């Protein structure tokens, strides 16, 4: 994975606002093994370092990562959200420059609690020639002749992962979380 070009986002609704948290760079890591001719055989694991999430409000971020909710300091299992790919349904082989829709089934583990989930994904295979790599100096950014852009959306709930629903006075955060990833992989 190329961390510079990858990010993970969560979105949660509250009565007075929509909370969006992001992380990128070294906060998102992972591996993906895929044959472009047979994307259905893909395997991989994506890890998001929850200590790097930022919602834009420092106090909220500290509370979110604290002992009452994610408790990221307690253990490695709490520090990371992990998605392990179990199966992929794709419309066909990956072709250079063409976006292919896919359903990615896997296990999402947050706070040590694994939950089976399905992500709606869009996968784009980006094939570069050796000339393109050299001429445009793409190597310095980590790109190779074979690259994948994977954009995925999926949902989970706080309670699925043993996280209490935050409440301030009478205003309660929704239990539902929308998760999005925008990941870039380069063949190693």
Q: What Cα–Cα distance (Å) separates residue 74 from each residue in 27, 28, 66, 71, 112?
A: 18, 20, 9, 6, 11
Per the CB < 8 A criterion, the answer to whether 90 and 98 are in contact is no
Q: How far apart are alpha carbons 93 and 82 in whole angstroms?
A: 26
pTM: 0.91
Per the CB < 8 A criterion, the answer to whether 161 and 111 are in contact is yes
Helices then strands, each counted (H, E), the chain: 3, 11
Total domains, the chain: 1
Considering Cα of 81, then 84, then 90, then 95, what sign does the dihedral take? positive
Mean pLDDT (10-residue bins), the chain, 188 residues: 94 89 95 95 97 95 94 96 97 94 98 97 93 79 91 96 82 89 94
User: Residue 169: its pLDDT value, please?
Assistant: 60
User: Residue 74: its pLDDT value, please?
Assistant: 95
Residues 6+ apart with CB under 8 A from 172: 14, 15, 165, 166
Residues 6+ apart with CB under 8 A from 154: 108, 117, 118, 119, 120, 179
User: Residue 137: its pLDDT value, please?
Assistant: 75
User: Residue 149: its pLDDT value, please?
Assistant: 97
What's the domain range around 150? 3-186
Per the CB < 8 A criterion, the answer to whether 119 and 86 are in contact is no
Which CATH number covers residue 151?
Answer: 2.40.128.110
User: Residue 14: its pLDDT value, please?
Assistant: 86
């Amino acid at each position: 994975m190329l961390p510079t070009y990858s990010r993970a986002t969560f979105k949660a609704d509250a009565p007075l606002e929509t909370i969006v948290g992001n992380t990128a760079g070294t906060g998102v890591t992972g591996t993906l093994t895929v044959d472009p001719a047979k994307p259905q055989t893909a395997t991989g694991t994506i890890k998001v370092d929850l200590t790097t999430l930022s919602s834009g409000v420092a106090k909220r971020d500290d509370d979110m990562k604290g002992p009452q909710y994610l408790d990221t300091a307690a253990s490695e299992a709490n520090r990371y959200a992990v998605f392990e790919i179990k199966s992929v349904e794709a419309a066909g082989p990956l072709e250079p420059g063409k976006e292919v829709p896919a359903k990615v089934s896997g296990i999402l583990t947050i706070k040590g609690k694994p939950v089976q989930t399905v992500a709606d994904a869009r996968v784009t295979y980006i094939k570069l020639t050796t000339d393109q790599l050299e001429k445009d100096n793409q190597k310095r950014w980590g790109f190779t002749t074979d690259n994948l852009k994977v954009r995925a959306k999926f949902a989970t709930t706080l309670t699925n992962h043993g996280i209490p629903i935050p409440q301030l006075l009478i205003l309660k955060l929704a239990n539902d979380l929308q998760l999005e990833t925008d990941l870039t992989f380069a063949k190693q």
